Structure 1
Amino acid sequence: MRFQMFASTLLILLFFSNSNFGINFTIVTGQSEKDLLLELKNHLIYDSSLSTKLVQWNETTGYCQWSGVKCDNKSRVSSLDLSSESISGGINDSSSLFRFVHLQSLNLAQNSFDSIELPLGFGKLAELRYLNLSNSGFTGQIPLDFSDLTRLVVLDLSSRFYSSLNLENPNLEKLIHNFTRLRELYLDGVNISAKGYDWCNAISSSLPNLRVLSLSNSYLTGSFNSSLLKLHSLSIIRLDGNTFSAPFPVFFADFPNLRVLTLSSCDLFGMVPEKLFQIKSLQTIDLSNNRELEGSLPHEFPLNGSLQNLLLSYTNFSGYVSESIGSLRMLSNFDLRACVFSGQIPSSIKNLTHLVYLDLSVNQFLGSVPSFALLKYLTVLNLRRNNLTGRVPNSLWEGLENLNFLDLSENSLEGEIPASLFVLPSLKVLYLSNNNFYGSIGDSRSSSSPLEVLDLRVNNFEGPIPRFLFELQNLSSLSLSSNKFSGSIELTDFQKLTNLVNLDLSYNNLSVHVREKVSLSSLFPRLGTLLLASCKLRKVPLLTNQSSLMMLDLSDNQIDGEIPNWIWEAGSGYLRFVNLSHNQFNRFDLRRPVYFDLLDLSSNNFSSSLPANIGNFLKPIVFLSIANNKITGTIPPSLCNPSRLQTLDLSNNSLHGKIPSCLLQSTHIRVLNLGGNNLSGDIPDAFPIGCGLESLDFSWNVLQGNFPKSLTRCTEIEVLNLSHNVLSGRIPASIGNIQKLESLDLSFNGLSGEIPKQTFPESSFLGNEGLCGSPLNKTCSGVISNKFYGLVGS
């Protein structure tokens, strides 16, 4: 009887152990698959608020139905997908994960194991066919036991950018030498640090069935090896972001099944064979950002070709784009930006009805703009900086219902802007600057346009600013500068544009008025750039509490009086560019440190001396000009304190006294102009080794003494003007970099001695009685008035 009961129980157990009810009893080990899963969950560290799988694991349902879990027909866990579960820890060498010995698929991608070294144990999962640890955050050396996964078909250890995984010991060859079944290898971002011969041979000799090779940003270098041609099944090659510094591998055009080839930013050079583009199976080719890579597109593309993505931007590809491009009916992304293509844009582009992205900018295309009508999927069209001419008819834009970016700037297009552009239902960005457009803009229907960016700079538009522009409530950037707009407007006319970040009305015939008591921060809380040069302004717009302001240009206006003190505090530390030049300001009171990169106060009516501590208030300054004023006093030594100062222009004032030697000791100043003052004394012989000066002007002062010998250390000088002083002594034989020197003016000084054997015009040396030799019509012959003669600098 007891035996019968035992036998019955055993039969029941065997039945359930072979069923698919999720009830598994591991008699030998004493631990069920369910227990292992729960143990794994309890040890994992994850964010339950972001989890969609682990949070659902509970004992009320069979574990084979748990999210992310799949079982084989014996209720053994065969697939575990814990991707995107915000897991940050809980897997180590002894993890229960490595006891799922029947796993065939494991996915831990898109997690956050930051700074956790990849543990040992994966090699125990000998049945794995699919292993995906991409973008999981593991770091360190890939363990040697990975090479035990001999059944792998897909291995993905990639990272979206550069990861902290590396292959040193084992190296790539040791890792993959047993992976004879592998078809897909993704090691993007893994530091492989191998040269061409090594990694090419390791892959070609170990992975005979490989179809996908993805090693982007993997620190590969050197020339490619043709041993890769052994991989007859290879169809996807992704090697972007490696610094090969090698010729383009022409044998890549011999892979008969090639579908994807991406080699962007690889420092490749040489010629790409045209037959590469004629592979019928090819869907994506990306050779962008290889500046020295040359080639041309074939005259005939294959009929009904499968090419979807053709990306050649920032290469040296040249020639014409033939009409046969229209046969690539599947083409979706076409990018030839910044190449050397010429000729007309083929009219057959209108046949590319799947086109989404088209960028032909910064080339030498000429002729008229072809029709893009009915390309209903097109979202981006960029034709900037070509040689396009003629008018742009309304009919070219019909049916572009998804177009949201259009750039026709920097061409020679003319005529009126097509009204249809302003009623395209999706157009958000429109650049038309630097053309010859004229006439009216838009119509009353245009006020419903979704435009966010409108750039009409440098054209020939006339008349008042169209009223519909004041109604485009989505506008964040409006640039109308350098046209012939006229009339009178107030900044409050733009008050409906509450999203405005950039407003540029400069250089028109406009009279712009501001209401002194209306703070622009209440109208345009996001305003970051305000450019109102040459707008006949008489008052400074009120910009108090304008916390996002970064650029302010009020130059070439009619503003007088004192610069308002609040301007030094505008932008809450973000204000970087301030141009108040060519006005009638006569006072400023700098009381606190500011963070400007550029401050231009030139051509005003300032007449007092500079504050002694001005340099302490402008420590981050890069460009400072107070030229063409009536500034008196001496040059404050505090101007030596700004550590980023590259341009200092104090010319054409009434400064006197000596030049602070610390100004000349700087290695970061590139342009120094103190001309047109009353500075006296010697030029300090203080130019340092590593002097970075490119332009130096001390002309029209009363400087005296010898020519500073240390000036020869300034090997980057291109412009040097010491004329109209009372300098004396010998000119050094080498001044700056003679190959770079564009202008040398030492006229009207007391300099003497023979002119260096250099090619400068006669006018550069006039007015110096003691100078002799070519190009002056005066021969050096002995002692002249007790002054040196002979070769200058000898």
Structure 2
Amino acid sequence: MALSTLLPLAALLFSTSSSSSSFNSSSPLLCSQDQSSALLQFKQLFSLWEYASDICDYYGQRSYPKIESWKEGTDCCSWDGVTCDSVRGDVIGLDLSCSRLYGTIPSNTSLFLLPHLQRLNLAFNYFNYSQISSGFGRFAKLRYLNLSRSDFEGQVPLELSHLSQLSSLDLSFVGYLSLDTSVMKRLVQNLTKLRELHLDRVNMSSVSLTSFRNLSSSLASLTLELCALHGSLPDLDIFGLQNLRELNLGTSGLIGEVPSSFSNLKALSSLSLRGNYLNGTIPSSLSNLKELSYLDLQGNYLSGPIPTSLGNLTKVTQIFLDSNYFTGHIPSSLSHLKDLNLIDLSFNNFQVSFGNLTKVTDIKLQYNNFTGQIPSSLSNLKYLNVIDLSYNKFEGSIPVSFGNLTKVTDIMLQYNNFTGQIPSSLSNLKYLNVIDLSCNKFEGSIPVSLGNLTKVTEITLQYNNFTGHIPSSLSNLKDLTFINFSHNNFGGFGGKIPFLTNLTKLSTVDLSYNQLTSQMCEFQPNNSLQYLRLENNRLYGSLPSSISNLVNLIELNIASNDLSGIVEFDTSTNLENLETLDVSNNSRLLGIKSNSNHTFPNLRTLSLSSCKITEFPKFLKSSKYLRYLDLSYNGIPNQIPKWMFEVVENLQFLDLHANLLQGNLPVPPSTMIVFLMSDNRLTGEIPSMFCNASHLEILDISNNSLSGKIPQCLGNFGHSLSVMDLRMNNFHGTIPDTFEKNNSLATIAFN
């Protein structure tokens, strides 16, 4: 639905129409006893549940329990949500939208004893997927009925067609409603005063499109999004509705071409045909819709060029043509659209040109096949907020003139072939919030002046050829939440890592796969940082125990550096949210010291490969959610402790190869998928219980001193096992014949 129409509708949905302001404590009771009693009985049907109306927050509306103000002995005309006729005192309006109601509405409810009701709004509550009662058809005077987003299910009752005075019916996004042809025809036949009909996400898969013929000539708004309609647009035959201002047929299974007869809908201001199976070209006759402000054709199979005549839609503010097969140039006639502020042409095959779209604030051109350099005309779009040219084939450098686009908040140039350096002129963009230059061929260093962009929250530069130091001026970016400089050639910081100490809003820092040569800094208390990736650099020294100050850390990866000493976590702190810890391939590390009972209670992945540790970390006793464990290439001697598989009962990946383990081959838990025990000193036979690990896909127990026969049951793993290596052991006997049946092994080695 177009934003321009959504806002008035939202205002209509949530307006509080109560006559209580007309009365004070000395006013006589206006509400009749029978109507007051009917409302109080209706109230008893429901319990109040906060989450029944939680979606109201999304629409910027406050939910609260209106019926709490309904008390016996008080005038019902003063109750929240109740509107009364100011002369007779009859209840004529009931607005309980966003009231946190939880329950069902039976056919014998006292609600249906309010004969004067003209407006009824029960939207945004939770009616527990009950059926819409036929009793709603008793309101002979009802002009407005809204049951949207209120969790009903079943068939739309035929009795709703008795509401001949209705001007607005909203059953949109109700739950799991369906509507058949006979009911649709009766609605069309009897509701001759309708101005608004909203049936979004009502299943109409059995409804014939011809059922919509002869809709009320007063209809101004028709929305049928996600209705599973079948057929072509001409069959809908709504092109004589001269008062229609809003039409939404998005994601409704429509096929065929966009008919030129749309030009008959002279009053149309909002048109959405998104997410259908429409093909062919945009008819030039759409340019006759002089009132059109919102056009959405995205997600179809439309092709050909954009008609030059679209430049005649002088009132249009938003155009969505993304995810089609359009080709050709963006017509210069669009520069006539002085009110156009957003145009989305992404996921097409356009050739680049911008014309003079002087009022455009958002331009989205991602996923086209644009080549060459960014046209200089882009710098003429002085009102631009968002530039998205990602996923194209642009090359060359960022124009220095980008620095003139002083209103820009987001620059997204990722996945192109850009080269050159970041122009220092970008420091003029005082409102810049997001910059993404990832996956290009940029080089050189980061300009120190980027530290002046104090509103920046996200900087993404991964997969480029940047070099030099990461400037300390980035420490000025106090609102920064996300940094990804991975897969470059940054050389260091000229000291310790600076901005990890004072940027307290950072949630993600990824500096992996660079050439950073630095010591780690001390970490100040930080509740925001969740992901810290520093792997594959040249960091040296010890990891300070103040890492425990990052109390909400989810991932810590410092693998493949030159760290030394013992990783020591503050024993008074539990990193309760830590799920991934990787310190592998730091050959001078000597182990991890921690609070052995509670340090990482939510750990899922632990990699300590090539760290010279000599025992199983005792903190694993608290890691009952562990799925991935790699302790390979260490010097761990003796047997695997008995508590290991008792605690870590959900383990799926275990790599203990290249250690000094002794004793019998352990029995993996039934959840195990990858089991790597090669290059140890294990002895004895393969235990029969081993075959309970029926999900194994990779098994390597080679280069040990195992003996005995290969169990028959190992051959039964053929449906899942793809790699099995039993080499360099002392097995004897024959290969079980079970290996010949239902075998999907890609690699098998016995010798």
Normalized against structure 1, the TM-score is what? 0.71
Query: Displacement, 1:684?
Result: 4.2
Query: Displacement, 1:271?
Result: 3.7
Query: Displacement, 1:165?
Result: 1.7
Alignment partners' CA distance in 2, 1:412 and 1:682: 57
* 8 Å Cα contact 1:88-1:114 kept in structure 2: yes
Alignment partners' CA distance in 2, 1:190 and 1:326: 46
Which residue, 590, 602, 614 being the options, matches 1:538?
590
Residue 106 (structure 2) pairs with residue 53 (structure 1):
no
**Residues 68-96 of structure 1: CA deviation (Å, up to 9, x unaligned):** 23456655545432111111235333444
2:564 aligns with 511
User: Which deviates the most, 647-656 or 345-354?
Assistant: 345-354
Between the two proteins, the alignment pairs up a number of residues equal to 658
Change (3 A) 1:425 1:538: closer
Alignment partners' CA distance in 1, 2:665 and 2:42: 72
Query: Displacement, 1:597?
Result: 2.0
Change (3 A) 1:648 1:541: farther
1:741 aligns with none
Q: Secondary structure at the match of 1:395?
A: helix
Residue 188 (structure 2) pairs with residue 134 (structure 1):
no
- 1:669 counterpart letter in structure 2: L
Query: Displacement, 1:458?
Result: 0.7
Alignment partners' CA distance in 2, 1:312 and 1:120: 50
**Identical-pair percentage:** 32
Residue 466 (structure 2) pairs with residue 434 (structure 1):
no
2:101 aligns with 87
Alignment partners' CA distance in 2, 1:365 and 1:150: 63
Alignment of 1:118-129 (within 5 A): 118-125=132-139, 128=142
1:570 aligns with 622
Query: Displacement, 1:607?
Result: 4.2
Query: Displacement, 1:389?
Result: 3.0
Residue 602 (structure 2) pairs with residue 548 (structure 1):
yes
2:547 aligns with 494
Change (3 A) 1:90 1:657: closer
1:644 aligns with 695
1:599 aligns with 654
Alignment of 1:362-373 (within 5 A): 362-369=415-422, 372-373=426-427
Residue 178 (structure 2) pairs with residue 166 (structure 1):
yes
* 8 Å Cα contact 2:678-2:702 kept in structure 1: yes
Q: Secondary structure at the match of 1:631?
A: strand
Residue 264 (structure 2) pairs with residue 210 (structure 1):
no
Which residue, 386, 407, 417 being the options, matches 2:440?
386
Alignment partners' CA distance in 2, 1:659 and 1:459: 47
Alignment partners' CA distance in 1, 2:431 and 2:116: 47
- 2:123 counterpart letter in structure 1: A
1:475 aligns with 529
**Residues 509-545 of structure 1: CA deviation (Å, up to 9, x unaligned):** 2214145xx6657353433222111222223443432
Residue 231 (structure 2) pairs with residue 197 (structure 1):
yes
Alignment partners' CA distance in 1, 2:422 and 2:195: 46
**Residues 78-125 of structure 1: CA deviation (Å, up to 9, x unaligned):** 543211111123533344444555555432221111121122243444
* 8 Å Cα contact 1:423-1:446 kept in structure 2: no
Alignment of 1:520-531 (within 5 A): 520=571, 522=573, 524-531=575-582
* 8 Å Cα contact 1:143-1:170 kept in structure 2: no
User: Which deviates the most, 602-611 or 34-43?
Assistant: 34-43
* 8 Å Cα contact 1:647-1:671 kept in structure 2: yes
2:210 aligns with none
Alignment of 1:390-789 (within 5 A): 390-396=444-450, 398-401=452-455, 403-440=456-493, 447-450=501-504, 451-465=506-520, 467=521, 469=523, 474-486=528-540, 488-515=541-568, 520=571, 522=573, 524-535=575-586, 536-542=588-594, 543-545=596-598, 546-560=600-614, 562-564=615-617, 567=620, 569-571=621-623, 573-587=624-638, 588-591=640-643, 592-593=645-646, 594-611=649-666, 614-615=667-668, 618-665=669-716, 666-677=718-729, 679=731, 681-686=733-738, 691-693=743-745, 695-698=746-749, 701-702=750-751
CA RMSD of aligned residues (A): 4.2
* 8 Å Cα contact 1:118-1:139 kept in structure 2: yes
Alignment partners' CA distance in 1, 2:170 and 2:307: 31
1:116 aligns with 130
Change (3 A) 1:195 1:62: closer
User: Which deviates the most, 38-47 or 108-117?
Assistant: 38-47
Unaligned runs of 5+ residues in structure 2 are 1-18, 52-62, 206-227, 326-345
Query: Displacement, 1:460?
Result: 1.2
Change (3 A) 1:408 1:541: same
Query: Displacement, 1:582?
Result: 1.1
- 1:116 counterpart letter in structure 2: S
Change (3 A) 1:330 1:141: farther
- 1:115 counterpart letter in structure 2: Y
- 1:69 counterpart letter in structure 2: V
**Residues 451-476 of structure 1: CA deviation (Å, up to 9, x unaligned):** 232111111111322x3655656433
* 8 Å Cα contact 1:272-1:293 kept in structure 2: no
Query: Displacement, 1:583?
Result: 0.9
* 8 Å Cα contact 1:180-1:206 kept in structure 2: no
* 8 Å Cα contact 1:45-1:90 kept in structure 2: no
User: Which deviates the most, 287-296 or 371-380?
Assistant: 287-296
Alignment partners' CA distance in 2, 1:229 and 1:630: 82
Comparing both chains, which one has the higher relative contact order based on Cα–Cα distances under 8 Å and sequence gaps of 6 or more? 2
Alignment partners' CA distance in 1, 2:116 and 2:617: 77
1:723 aligns with none
Alignment partners' CA distance in 2, 1:333 and 1:146: 46
Asked which structure has the greater CA Rg, the reply is 1
Alignment of 1:60-99 (within 5 A): 63-71=76-84, 74=87, 77-98=91-112
User: Which deviates the most, 620-629 or 220-229?
Assistant: 220-229
- 1:578 counterpart letter in structure 2: L
Alignment partners' CA distance in 2, 1:206 and 1:91: 38
